[in-house]
């Protein structure tokens, strides 16, 4: 979705009669596997890729061309990352949720909707950032979210790679060619201090294989009051980790609560 579309009010790209039968299939629980792919093909032909829709009580502007999460949230009958969201929500009520690699805001919105008092959403990719801001504003949550338009890592600046799929953007060089920009990076502990955080209830991190370089310094230096009770960490790209991140989590009192298809859910005793 071009960044300029973020200035169009929510509802401009609303669903209509052309997609009503597809939404019915989704609500009936039939959109799984190959059926989901068929529904996506029909949706693109009938409506186009940009959609303003409410899903489970929250408003989103989706772009089905360039974001895997958008496709899963809108078109799948399964509640996207249900176990992860529920585990984070269990300890986030009334507290601060930190979303490192916020993408277009799915986790941030779900946690605020589920009881977190406020959120810190970190997203350095400019086109993704524009859509994150739009979704937060569309739900009237701007006063509860601090958006950090930087990367998390060592103090300074790093090359940030931007493949066509927005959710795959990363500080880790991908195979093949990809556009890149220079992005400011700051340690997580510094970002929390600047945001005035005195405690973190829950944290999600999904930064495409850069998780160790974000979390190892934090786990080594953070006082106990800033250690989140629940952490969801993506492990799909753990082959890119340069150190044993899970051992450091264990040293700070975390155990694996659950392993899902793409993430680990950790809980601090």
Q: What is the pTM of this model?
A: 0.95
Structure tokens at 67: 């974001």
Q: Which of helix, strand or coil describes residue 147?
A: strand
Structure tokens at 217: 């310094």
Task: Compute the distance between CA of residue 16 and CA of residue 195 in angstroms, rounded to an integer.
Answer: 41
Which residue's structure tokens are 């490192």?
A: 100
DSSP 174: P
Condensed to tens digits (0 to 9), the pLDDT of residues 145-175 reads 999 999 999 999 999 999 989 989 999 998 8
DSSP 116: B
pLDDT at 157: 97
The upper half-sphere exposure of residue 161, i.e. CA atoms within 13 Å in the direction of its Cβ, equals 15
DSSP 30: -
- Number of CB atoms found within 10 A of residue 58's CB: 18
Backbone angles phi, psi at 57, to 5 degrees: 85, 5
For the chain, domains (ranges, CATH) are 3-75 (no CATH), 82-268 (3.40.50.150)
- Number of CB atoms found within 10 A of residue 47's CB: 17
Which residue's structure tokens are 């949720």?
A: 97
Cβ distance 205 to 211 under 8 Å?
Answer: yes
pLDDT at 175: 86
pLDDT in tens, the chain (269 residues): 555 677 799 999 999 999 999 999 999 999 999 999 999 999 999 999 999 999 999 999 999 999 999 999 999 999 999 999 999 999 999 999 999 999 999 999 999 999 999 999 999 999 999 999 999 999 999 999 999 999 999 999 999 999 989 989 999 998 888 899 999 999 999 999 999 999 999 999 999 999 999 999 999 999 999 999 999 999 999 999 999 999 999 999 999 999 999 999 999 98
Task: Compute the distance between CA of residue 11 and CA of residue 169 in angstroms, rounded to an integer.
Answer: 28
Condensed to tens digits (0 to 9), the pLDDT of residues 84-129 reads 999 999 999 999 999 999 999 999 999 999 999 999 999 999 999 9
Structure tokens at 6: 């973020």
- Which of 14, 40, 12 has its CA nearest to residue 26? 40
Helix (H) or strand (E) holding 95: none
Q: Which residues on adjacent β-strands are paired with residue 62?
A: 51
Task: Compute the distance between CA of residue 105 and CA of residue 238 in angstroms, rounded to an integer.
Answer: 23
Structure tokens at 142: 């701007």
Task: Compute the distance between CA of residue 52 and CA of residue 108 in angstroms, rounded to an integer.
Answer: 18
pLDDT at 120: 98
């Amino acid at each position: 979705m071009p960044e300029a579309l973020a200035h169009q009010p929510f509802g401009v790209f609303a669903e209509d009669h052309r997609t009503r039968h597809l939404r019915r299939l989704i609500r009936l629980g039939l959109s799984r596997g190959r059926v989901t792919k068929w529904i996506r093909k029909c949706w693109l032909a009938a409506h186009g890729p940009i959609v303003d829709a409410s899903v489970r009580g929250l408003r989103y502007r989706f772009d089905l061309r360039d974001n895997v999460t958008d496709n899963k949230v809108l078109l799948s009958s399964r509640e996207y990352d249900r176990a992860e969201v529920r585990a984070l929500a269990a300890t986030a009520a009334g507290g601060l949720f930190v979303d490192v690699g916020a993408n277009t805001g799915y986790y941030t919105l779900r946690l605020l909707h589920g009881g977190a008092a406020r959120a810190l959403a970190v997203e350095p990719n400019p086109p993704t950032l524009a859509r994150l801001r739009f979704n937060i504003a569309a739900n009237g949550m701007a006063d509860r979210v601090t958006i950090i338009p930087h990367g998390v890592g060592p103090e300074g600046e790093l090359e940030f790679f931007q493949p066509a799929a927005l959710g795959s953007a990363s500080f880790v060089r991908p195979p093949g060619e990809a556009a890149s920009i220079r992005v400011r990076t700051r340690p997580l502990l510094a970002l929390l201090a600047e945001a005035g955080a005195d405690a973190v209830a829950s944290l999600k991190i999904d930064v495409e294989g850069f998780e160790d370089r974000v979390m190892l310094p934090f786990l080594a230096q953070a006082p106990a009051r800033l250690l989140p009770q629940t952490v969801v960490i993506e492990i799909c790209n753990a082959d890119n980790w340069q150190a044993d991140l899970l051992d450091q989590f264990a040293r700070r009192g975390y155990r694996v609560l659950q392993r899902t298809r793409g993430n680990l859910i950790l809980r601090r005793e």
